[in-house]
Amino acid sequence: MSEETQETGASECEEQSRELNARQQQIVDMGSATIRTERGTVHTITIVGQIEGHQILPATAKTTKYEHVMPLLAAIEESSEVDGVLILLNTVGGDIEAGLGIAELIASMRKPTVSLVLGGGHSIGVPLAVSAKMSFIAPSAAMTIHPVRLNGLVIGVPQTFYYFERIQDRIIQFVTQNSHVDRETFTKMMLQTGELAADVGSVIYGEEAVKIGLIDRIGGLSDALDCLHSMMEEERQRRMNVLKQ
């Protein structure tokens, strides 16, 4: 083997090592990863634990910080390198405003987006799950639908309850606009009694979520990626047709 060939091989190994280290650091810092293949570049975002909003949660709680996810989504949307986004969800809910803000950003993206509910997509995780252009849920995954709650001091005046009602209406409107579930069915599940211990609401699992139209399909990681790559290919074809015109 010539000296030039050895140097080329060493250079390629160093480049691959740097790329691997950068990808690992990206996972540690942001809970996300960029995957480049011959079929295109997919950016994977994980939304896990509690959605942290304006209040900082204890260090012992697993959180997804909205101030990290929001600029990341904006950067992905503007990136010429990323072709599609895969959102992996396993969340217990959290801050309503932060979660709904992230969901609104995902729903307004032009790039192909696919969500996959794994484990659970509870509370504000429901709008996050349906915000993608196509949503998947694992057969064993669960989704808890319940009314809006507020921790801490609550001032017992009519305005407070009106505020709750307005926020709840925003969530219902977002979910019904971004999925196939009808308003009556979703509201009924949200206000159902007798299913949750000392609480109001419903727990639904994979097949039921698809049956009522809340989630598009049952599936796992390979199904979600196949769907995303198909959407990415359609987007490439659309752009080529526009350029030809």
Amino acid found at 7: E
pLDDT category of residue 4 using cuts at 50, 70 and 90: low
pLDDT in tens, 85-96: 999 999 998 999
Residue 11 is predicted with a pLDDT of: 64
- Give every CB contact of residue 183 below 8 A, 6+ residues apart in sequence: 172, 176
Q: Is 186's pLDDT higher than 90? A: yes
Residue 55 is predicted with a pLDDT of: 80
Residues 14-40 have a mean pLDDT of: 66
Active site (annotated) includes residue 222:
no
Catalytic one of 32, 115, 123, 135: 123
- Which helix (H) or strand (E) segment holds residue 200: the answer is none
Catalytic one of 146, 179, 202, 229: 146
Give 197's DSSP letter. T
Answer for the pair 213, 137: CB distance below 8 angstroms, yes or no: no
The CATH code belonging to domain 31-244 is 3.90.226.10
The pTM for the full model equals 0.84
Active site (annotated) includes residue 146:
yes
pLDDT in tens, 115-144: 999 999 999 999 999 999 999 999 999 999
